Structure 1
Amino acid sequence: MSFMLLISVLIIFSTIQSVLGVGLLVFGTPTLLIMGFSFEETLSIVLPASICISLLQVIEPQKSGKSFRKEFNLFCLPFVFLGVYYVLLNEKNIDLSIYVGGMLFISGAIRLSSKLTTILSSFIFQYRKLYQVILGLVHGLTNMGGGLLTLFSSSIHSGDKNSTRAGVAYGYLLMGVIQYGMLLFFHPEFISIKIVLYVLIAAVSYLLFGKRLYVNTQEKLFHNSVTAIILFYGCVLIFR
């Protein structure tokens, strides 16, 4: 893949993540894998950019609740660590794609109905600790927990645009730091000046395009976009 094409991929998905909270990992991971990058190479490209955007979003005034963060730290992050450790230690990716994709597709379809959305939110509330454990494992093993994280944050924050994105940004930031730290520990060869380039591309995309688009995105459009990203992500995982 040409260098300019890689830059274009980063700009597009950085802008999407700036608006929706997810994009670089959800879309960037399968895109780069399809284009011939290894799983480890893909992580080394998308993680620095994703961490940068999530950090910029987290330091903004709109934030998720402290209870959300405390519970997420306790029940999700340890399993992200375990998942990444297992994958990198064995130097292979665990293919949970069809199962995760099916779950996301069903979840996205449910979100199309306000009545079913209420039922789903109640389910997540009832089993939220177990859900976060599964989220951590799935993301650690496959780098594809973005749809699950978006669904969780949207349900916990009742679909509120600012709180949903803030929750996703917080989760992505800490999960990304864990993943990236372990990646560099197992593969120090990925430490290079290119990291700075990926971060700069993400930051510029966020400040010039993504932030402005997010401010002008209406609540309903944001909800529909979240639903669309979950459905699309599910289809990509099922049929790739």
Structure 2
Amino acid sequence: MAGRLYIPPLDLIRLLPDLSVDETPITGVNLAPRRPLSMIRLDTGRPRLCQAFWGLTPPWLDVLDHAPHCARAESLTSRPMFREAFATRRCLIPASGTYVWKTQPRAKQPFLVTRADRGPLLLAGLWCRFHTDLSAFHDSLALITVPTNALLSPLTDRLPAVIPPSHAARWLDPETPSDALHERLEPAPEELLGAFPVSRRVNDPGCQEAACAHPTGPMLRRTAKE
């Protein structure tokens, strides 16, 4: 599951040259749910960066604490909470990694899952709009998770789905057929992602020290020989 994100400053225009950026991207070393994130969605035919609350909040949701921050890919078309958003309101969350916790005999060890080359990632998500009063509207989002590949399965059973930049336009387009979307919701190739242990300081969501994302051990990754 993706409970925390690592989002340093990213060169989003290099990643998506046609991206419209009208506001400062949200960054952070240790970002937790129930707070704003930057997301990319389609706006008048062009991808645009905007902000959304991390926790999907459709208009009928009564308790904010019940807003899911992740949606399982397997339930996107069966759960009313996700069905409409998946069909017409998909988004991408630019990030450099997600924290996971490996269960060990004495204490859980946090790891940071990143691209093996430490490059940026586009994480699959869906969004919806809800109103807090008659004059204000806000967007909210949830990450879409898929089963973990064999390399990273000892660390966690699920991770956010990764969308290649070359498929970003198709992912955001509300006209893309459902079967084409589900083809993108697969475990990441083993050569794409790696993971390394980090300080347990990341356990505190209030800790935003740069050291939270520093390796404390070697990276687990698939080498070319393997």
TM-score normalised per structure 2:
0.29
| Structure showing the higher helix proportion among its residues | 1
Greater RCO between the two (CA within 8 Å, min separation 6)? 1
Q: Which is richer in strand?
A: 2
